[in-house]
Each structure stands twice: as C-alpha cells, then as structure tokens.
Amino acid sequence: MTHTLHRAGTVESLKTDYVILVMPAQGFNNEGAAPKMRGALEIILNHNPVSFGDMRTGNYFRKGMKQILENTQDNSICHGVFTNRKDLEECLTELKQANLGMSVVATGLIDDVHESAKKVGLTPHSMNLSLGVWGKKELLPEQDVLDITTMCGHHCVSPLLVKKLANEVKKDKICIEEAARTLAKQCVCGVVNPIRTERILEKIIEK
C-alpha cells in the first residue's frame, strides 16, 4: 500500500509523523474480517492517534469515532496517525500480540520505522520507497504547501484550500487548530496529521 508513501517535509518534521495501516488481503482472508478490523481500530485508539479512519467509512474528523467503529466491513482499510515512535511501537506491539491475521503497514522515515520494528520484534517482509518527484516541478505549489497536501495520498487536500485557510488564520478569522482540522477532514482515509499540519501552517503564515 503506497498512498502514505509520498509525505514530503524535513527530517525534523517527519519525525513527528507515523502512520499505521491495517487491511485484509482481498480474496484471501477478507471474508469475516469486519470484527477483526474493528479490533485493529480499537488497538490503534489505545495509543494516542491524532487522526484515524476507515477508508470505507471516512475519517474521525468527518464521521466521528462511533460511526467508524460500528461500520467496519470485510474490506475495510483502517489507519492511525501518531506523532512519536513510542506510540507507534506500542501500537505495533499490541497488534502483534492480538495476531488478527491482517496485513499491517507502518509508514515513516525508513530508519525510524526499521528501528521501531526491530525493537518490538518484527521483521518487515517488504518495503516501498518513494523515488521523489519527477517532471515539471516548477508547476507544483510551494514546498510548505506540499508538505501538507502530500499527507493525503489520494490528493484530496487542495493546495488552494491550504493557502485560503492559512490566510484566514493570519487574519484571525479562524484559529489554527480549526484550519488543521478542516484540512484533515478532506482526507477520506484519515491519514492527515493535524498536529503536524498546524506547525506547517505556522511556517506558511510567518512567510
């Protein structure tokens, strides 16, 4: 699964951004997987996620916790976003102990994720790496804007919305927390990190 692979930013910023994805293998072990997916979400919720969601239902900021938990399906794809490795590692540990039989993907800085997996006794069986951006990069938005929009791997967060909300925060029309939550709402999967978004918005506003 690669939709969390292309998150852009500085190493310092990305050290506050880790994503866990849990899903069944379609046509292999998805039949009857709904309660297991709910169990995976409940484990994620035990470890201080700043955002979470089920791709089939929506994200926490749009649907709320109850609706997401009560509507897991056999083909659910569940996510949780963490701001530190401790929460990531404790979540991975509990998922390992639960042995739900679902596929688990951890996204973050490669050295950090490998160290965390090793620490909790996990050996990754495969790895995806982003090779960066190719083509007419001069047509892309500013890097700080990309640092926010690339948190949604399906590109549901518009660069224009980022700029609009940053301007509204600057004019004291809304608070920065509301702006970050509004941007997080756009991502169906629930993988936009609102805490990191706030910090990036602060940088955009300062400029």
pLDDT at 139 over 80: yes
Q: Please report how many Cα atoms fall inside a 13 Å half-sphere around the Cα of residue 87, on the Cβ side.
A: 21
Same domain, 112 and 143: no
Asked if 162 contacts 155 with a C-beta cutoff of 8 angstroms, the reply is no
Q: What mean pLDDT do residues 51-73 have?
A: 97
Give a yes or no: residue 127 inside a domain.
no
What is the total count of domains within the chain?
2
Q: Across-strand partners of 52?
A: 80
In-domain check, residue 3? no
The count of residues in the chain is 207
Place of tokens 């938005």: 141
Are 91 and 152 in the same domain?
no
Give the pLDDT band of residue 26 (cuts 50, 70, 90). confident
pTM metric for this prediction: 0.95
Question: Are both 39 and 104 inside the same structural domain?
Answer: yes
Pair (165, 112) in one structural domain: no
Residue 1 pLDDT class (50, 70, 90 cuts)? low
- Please indicate, yes or no, whether residues 35 and 65 belong to a single structural domain of this protein: yes
List the domain range (segments joined by +) for residue 171: 137-206
User: Which residues are CB-neighbours of 180 under 8 A, at least 6 positions away?
Assistant: 194, 195, 197, 198, 201
- The pLDDT of residue 176 is above 90: yes
Q: Are residues 103 and 191 in the same domain?
A: no
Of 75, 92, 119, the residue at which a domain comes to its end is: 119
What pLDDT sits at residue 87? 98
User: 1 lies in a domain?
Assistant: no
Phi (first) and psi of residue 79, to 5 degrees: -135, 155
Average pLDDT over residues 159-167: 98
